[in-house]
């Protein structure tokens, strides 16, 4: 497994499980594949180099689209950048006149570039504005949430999306400390409630994750993407999804189980009742020797669209 750096110097991101993604999607000459999380173009470039295929790259971050378009310009018309949310996959493909594709990839979560750019406000490692928007033109921002949401909503989000045990205490501190404007001050306040502990992760990590997921509606986007991706695949088409935390991975696992018939009711002969569309493949995780520290929690789940019950 070779982590692959996105080629643009202005949008640095080390693409996780690049070789495994190519193996799962098996691009072939003449095929059309979709990279739903384009970033700087690392995965898309790997697919384009693997075969004489075409790749449609979707991202809601204009900086990512600009960087990837520059990095992949050598592939000419074989690469098509699209600004949009991957939850709108069906509508985006229809707009391109390409309702069916041979492969769909989603590398979920935030990019290294977004994390390492203080003015994007994704990380508490640098002092920056409370933003966290993948699309800077969208709303709300993280500042909007922490300064305007109710204490009950904040506690619910932090518990549900951050799996933070002290969610109520954190929410109470956020409301009492308003207004908030920068990441470092907010992280310090959260640490004051959660405590430093003995773990490797910063005490604000879970709350920042929760805010980011809500700001970008990441789980809602994934919930909309998965059935749209399965429906867009031609028989024999491949789906690959890389998740970095349990909420995303659980959603992908449950979707693949449902689409494979594993969790469906069975008839008297043991056959699933209803349409069976996907055949899941064994999940893949990075090796312990992977040089990218952000890859440690990654899990790649993939599946093949079955040739029967394909409607």
Residues 162-196: pLDDT tens digits? 999 999 999 999 999 999 999 999 999 999 999 87
CATH assignment at residue 191: 1.10.150.170
- Residues 226, 108 share a domain: yes
CA 121/CA 116 separation, integer angstroms: 9
Are 134 and 194 in a shared domain? yes
Residues 99 and 227 grouped into a single domain: yes
Same domain, 201 and 237: no
Contact partners, residue 25, CB within 8 Å, separation at least 6 = 33, 47, 103, 105, 238, 240, 302
Q: Is pLDDT above 70 for 250?
A: yes
In which domain, by residue range, is 205 found?
A: 124-216
Looking at every residue in the chain, the average pLDDT score rounds to 90
Final residue belonging to a domain, choices 172, 196, 216: 216
Task: Evaluate whether residue 118 is within a structural domain.
Answer: no
Task: Tell me if residue 133 falls in helix, strand or coil.
Answer: coil
pLDDT digits (tens, 9 = 90+) for 190-227: 999 998 765 678 899 999 999 999 999 999 999 999 99
pLDDT at 270: 76
Q: What is the pLDDT at residue 279?
A: 95
Q: Does residue 255 surpass a pLDDT of 80?
A: yes
51 contacts 35 by C-beta, under 8 angstroms: no
Residue that terminates a domain, selected from 169, 197, 216: 216
The predicted structure's pLDDT at residue 34: 98
Note whether 134 and 159 are same-domain residues. yes
Task: For residue 183, give the nearest of 117, 142, 133, 127 by alpha carbon.
Answer: 127
CA dist., res. 64 & res. 111, Å (int):
9
Q: For residue 91, how many C-alpha atoms fall within 13 Å in the half-sphere facing its CB? A: 7
263 within domain boundaries: yes
130 and 278 fall within a common domain: no
* pLDDT tier for residue 9 given thresholds of 50, 70 and 90: very low
Q: How far is CA 14 from CA 8, 108, 199, 225, in A?
A: 11, 13, 25, 23
The pLDDT score that the predictor gives to residue 308 is 65
- Claim to verify: residue 212 and residue 223 sit in the same structural domain: no
Q: What are phi and psi of 298, to 5 degrees?
A: -70, 145
Is residue 209 domain-shared with residue 246, that is, in the same domain?
no
Residue 310 has pLDDT above 60, yes or no: no
Domain annotation covers residue 241: yes
Q: How many domains does the chain have?
A: 2
């Amino acid at each position: 497994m070779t982590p692959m750096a996105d080629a643009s110097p202005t949008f640095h991101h080390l693409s996780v499980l690049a070789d495994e993604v190519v193996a799962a999607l098996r691009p072939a000459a003449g095929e059309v594949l979709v990279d739903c999380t384009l970033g700087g173009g690392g995965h898309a470039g790997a697919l384009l180099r693997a075969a004489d295929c075409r790749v449609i790259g979707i991202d809601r971050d204009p900086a990512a689209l600009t960087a990837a378009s520059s990095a992949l310009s050598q592939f000419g018309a074989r690469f098509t950048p699209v600004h949009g949310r991957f939850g709108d996959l069906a509508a985006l493909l229809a707009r391109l006149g390409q309702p069916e594709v041979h492969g769909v990839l989603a590398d979920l979560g935030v990019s290294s570039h977004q994390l390492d750019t203080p003015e994007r406000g994704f990380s508490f490692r640098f002092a920056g504005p409370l933003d966290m928007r993948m699309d800077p033109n969208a709303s709300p921002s993280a500042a909007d949430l922490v300064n305007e949401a109710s204490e009950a909503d904040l506690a619910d989000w932090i518990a549900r999306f951050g799996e933070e045990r002290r969610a109520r205490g954190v929410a109470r501190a956020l409301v009492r400390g308003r207004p908030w404007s920068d990441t470092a001050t907010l992280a310090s306040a959260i640490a004051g409630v959660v405590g430093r502990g003995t773990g490797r992760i910063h005490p604000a990590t879970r709350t920042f994750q929760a805010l980011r997921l809500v700001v970008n509606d990441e789980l809602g986007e994934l919930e909309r993407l998965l059935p749209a991706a399965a429906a867009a695949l031609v028989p024999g088409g491949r789906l690959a999804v890389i998740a970095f935390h349990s909420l995303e991975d659980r959603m992908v696992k449950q979707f693949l189980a449902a689409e494979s018939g594993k969790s469906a009711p069975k008839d008297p002969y043991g056959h699933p009742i209803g349409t069976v569309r996907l055949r899941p493949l064994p999940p893949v995780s990075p090796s312990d020797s992977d040089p990218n520290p952000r890859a440690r929690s990654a899990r790649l789940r993939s599946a093949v669209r079955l040739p029967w019950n394909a409607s």
